[in-house]
Amino acid sequence: MKAAVLVKNANPEQAFELREMPDPTPQANEVLVAVQAFGLNFADVMAMRGLYQDCPPLPTVIGYETVGIVEQVGSGITHVAIGDRVVAFTLWCLCYPK
């Protein structure tokens, strides 16, 4: 999969690299979503600038809001199914099927 990775605190042109990442496998109580769109919000902009204390260590993928289609579900997941369109807040993910 491709991901926009925050590699340093700088202006957007220098802060991100498009990288190939390993495909994740959902663990128990996790869902794998094929992302169709994501949002960069105030916390993400502050992370890019190095001013967000909860940003994971660099390099990291930010973008705490996303929408897409559920591709895989881990054990214990009962509220969404493969093929559901969801919105996810990835910092502490809550998924709501459409």
- The structural domains of the chain, ordered by start, are 2-97 (3.90.180.10)
CA 17 – CA 75 distance, rounded (Å): 33
Find tokens 């996303």 and name the residue. Answer: 66
| pLDDT for position 21 | 87
- pTM for this one? 0.76
Beta strands in the chain (DSSP E): 2-6, 16-20, 31-39, 65-73, 85-89, 95-97
Give mean pLDDT in consecutive 10-residue pieces for the chain, a chain of 98 residues.
Answer: 90 92 90 89 90 89 89 95 91 47
| pLDDT for position 93 | 45
| pLDDT for position 91 | 62
| pLDDT for position 62 | 84
